[in-house]
Structure 1
């Protein structure tokens, strides 16, 4: 189970614009955390799991690491195919780059997803499984 994860970005304002745009499509929200970071998750009432997004260099980074150097992949659960479509559209409109248009994925069973690259090249996905993917 996911408790939290985090990504380092090079431009917090661009990242905030991107994640604000996709939040509503997935039933999520952004919340300021500090001048150098914000959180992406469900709500203040349900704070975990969350994604920390910020510009601060983590203490655990290996020498030479930087934002976007090692692409991260994060998949968010979407409630429907329509939400996946809306996620993809919102992400592109907010500066993301297409990395896999909405649709079923071969060999994945009842699965419908979309992939975008955020402003730092992290692979962000929204997907729905099961009957809702049909």
Structure 2
């Protein structure tokens, strides 16, 4: 289990609006915030495990090539809603909602945020 993960941003307020619009659709909400970070937690978790941060070294935020952060979604409809909301908020499509070949119930959608960070919402429950 991961303790936490972070994505960098060059505009924390814009990133906060983006993630506030899409993460609640898959069961995550803003739990913490500071001058240079925002933390989100799954509804059943008492600890923020997904952080949006301005880089500590004060250099511009960049994304990793080959990096994808996959978040658990409770339903396939939640995956669909996450993808649609991300696009409506100015994110980009990296893979429309649908089944993937990893196993019979791997239903996922992939997006990029304004800073180029790639995220997936994944539901592994049967339809």
TM over 0.5: yes
Alignment partner for residue 71 of structure 2, among 72, 76, 81? 76
* C-alpha distance in structure 2 between counterparts of 1:108 and 1:120, whole Å: 30
* Bigger CA radius of gyration: 1
Quote the RMSD (CA, aligned, Å).
2.1
Aligned position for 1:20? 20
Aligned residue runs from structure 1 range 22-61, under 5 A: 22-43=22-43, 46-48=45-47, 50-57=49-56
Question: 2:88 is matched with which residue?
Answer: 93
**Matched residue of 1:83: which SS?**
helix
- Cα pair 2:75 2:125 within 8 Å, conserved: no
Q: Which runs of 5+ in 1 are unaligned?
A: 60-64
Q: CA deviation at 1:56?
A: 3.4
Report deviation, 1:27: 1.3
Of 93, 99, 102, 1:104 maps to: 99
Cα distance in 1, alignment partners of residues 63 and 23 from structure 2: 24
Distance in structure 1 (CA, Å) of the matches to 2:102 and 2:42 = 30
Q: State how many pairs are aligned.
A: 126
Deviation at 1:53, TM superposition (A): 1.0
Alignment TM-score, normalising by the size of structure 2: 0.87
Secondary structure of the corresponding residue to residue 103 of structure 2: coil
Q: Which runs of 5+ in 2 are unaligned?
A: none
- SS at structure 1 position matched to 2:61: coil
Report the CA distance between 1:94 and its aligned residue.
Answer: 1.1
State whether residues 111 and 129 of structure 1, in contact with CA within 8 Å, keep that contact through their aligned partners in structure 2.
Answer: yes
